[in-house]
Amino acid sequence: MDNRRWSVVIAAIIAVLFGLLTLFSGGRALFGTAEARAAVGDAVPFVLWFNFLAGFAYVAAGVGLFGRRSWAVLLSVAILFATILVTVAFGVHVLLGGAYEMRTVGAMSLRTVVWGVIVAVALREPARSNPVSEH
């Protein structure tokens, strides 16, 4: 396996792990105990819901990237652009005086960088569009 293929495998693993962590933390914040929900402080609801739902897409993209599926590259690009749009909407919310947690700024920045790197790696490796295994 060449270095470009290894980079896609690593990106796929990161996407899946990032997705599972996102689902866990978002699920706790949305559906957890009263203490868990209170711990999120001034979380912005649309950001919290976006991140939780995006966790499913992160896992799907990671699995698809691991299998070198062309749709996974498109999904990764969509995740990146959706994350950027939600980050911009979050910025507008903050500029309009909405309550927020500073850790949300860091989290959305991290998500944007992570998916920017995953997209860059995924675009370098040719995908297989045929689901039949190559032997």
Q: Where are the domains of the chain?
A: 3-124
pTM of the model: 0.89
Instruction: Give the tens place of pLDDT for each residue, 47-103.
Output: 999 999 999 999 999 999 999 999 999 999 999 999 999 999 999 999 999 999 999
8 A C-beta contact, residue 45 and residue 85: no
The CA distances from residue 118 to 8, 75, 106, in Å, are 8, 11, 18
- The pLDDT mean for the chain works out to 92
The answer to whether 26 and 51 have CB atoms below 8 angstroms apart is yes
Closest residue by Cα to residue 25 from 78, 95, 97, 101: 101
The sign of the torsion formed by the CA atoms of 129, 120, 82, 31 equals positive
